Amino acid sequence: MNSSELTNIVKSLASELNFDLCNITSAEPFSADRDIAIERIQSGKMAGLPWFNESRVVRGTDPSILLQGARSIISVGINYYQSRDTNSQNKAMGKVAVYAWGKDYHRVVKKRMKLLVDNITKILGNNFNARWYIDDGPMLDRSVARRSGIGWIGKNTNLLSPELGSWVFLGQIITDLDLEIDLPLKKHCGTCTRCIEQCPTNAITDPYTIDNSRCISHLTIENRGPIPTELRDAIGEWVFGCDICQDVCPVNTKSQLSREPLFKVNSRQSLDLINILTMSEEEFREEFSGTPIMRSKYHGMQRNACVVLGNIGSPDSIPALTYALKSDSPIVRGHSAWALGKIGGQRSELALIGQLSIETDPEVIEELQSAVSHITG
């Protein structure tokens, strides 16, 4: 079987497994992407992601380090786009990024990539060497997808597919098979700067450059500390992740609904914030096990809920925020204080003063004092 025939079989098998995109690139090093990633680390743009270090980048941009004898990379993509319901009558709801509405994509896509490898093995009648990743390893997934011709890198640093826009989960299978490579696309974003202009935290500092420490997705998911005070207003109603730079992208006007059933669980497109603040950690695990929401962890989601409730500004949330003042997490207590200060009113002031009389954590005390001052003027 020659490389052209084998490549056609690989792409056909990928389609049968509901991969929407499948292209091939070589296993040559990604030298330019390596240099760009290292520069971002050294300039502090990846702050808050200690695991994304120079050693990881060097490994992830040289496929031969990850798989001895690597010759080709199968680049796959699955569309996850769903339309958002904007008719909710509950005011105490927080927005969730579309990618988190369904099952955890890491499990779904990685299992399917293994099936693809197994099916190729059956066709060949013998084993071949392969390793596969879906942003859970060192490979730079967007770099692989770009070089394989699946799409181009947008100014918001997302990969943009001509067919599916940026609503795509990307996977990579490094293999020692000799496959025919696809060429990179020559498309680009032209003069469009909508994503840069619409980012509420100004996280896209320049075209193709994101300051991770200002990105709402990072602040509400990977961030384990407090959300900077100066960015809390800009979080708006996003309790988990953010889709703004994708929503405004003209390429995404062509987006098609995902055909993958496991990504169609729309009950999580927004979350009841009062419920998040009042549920136990065990209830949280039961509710969100097997979903991307778990990445923020229990106290992280409560922190986020406090910020969004503060931004919504409804006095109806004061009891839940007062309850959160008693959390065993200083971060949750501090952010609930901020939210109560923003909502204001006598009930908020009394709750803050009461907690201030017994609080021992210096940072929470500072949040409480600031919140009281905000109310009293």
Active site residues: 135
DSSP state of 161: B
Cβ count near 225 (within 10 Å):
10
Contact criterion met (CB below 8 Å) for 173 and 13:
no
Which region, left, alpha or beta, applies to residue 212 given φ > 0 means left and ψ of -120 to 50 means alpha?
alpha
Q: Contact at 8 Å (CB) between 100 and 108?
A: no
For residues 249 and 154, the answer to whether their CB atoms sit within 8 Å is: yes
The values of phi and psi at residue 45, to 5°, are -70, -15
- Cβ pair 317, 273 in contact under 8 A: yes
Are 155 and 208 contacting, i.e. CB atoms less than 8 angstroms apart? yes
CB 223 within 8 A of CB 242: no
Tokens encoding 166: 């940026």
CA distance 91 to 86: 12
Give Cα 199 to chain centroid, integer Å: 15
What is the dihedral sign for C-alpha 244, 184, 179, 32? negative
Q: Name the strand (E) or helix (H) holding 310.
A: helix 298-312
Neighbours of 275 (CB within 10 A): 15
- Which residues are bridge partners to 175 per DSSP? 72, 130
How far is Cα 217 from Cα 219, in angstroms, rounded to an integer? 6
Token reading at 300: 């992280």
Compute the distance between CA of residue 311 and CA of residue 342 in angstroms, rounded to an integer.
Answer: 8
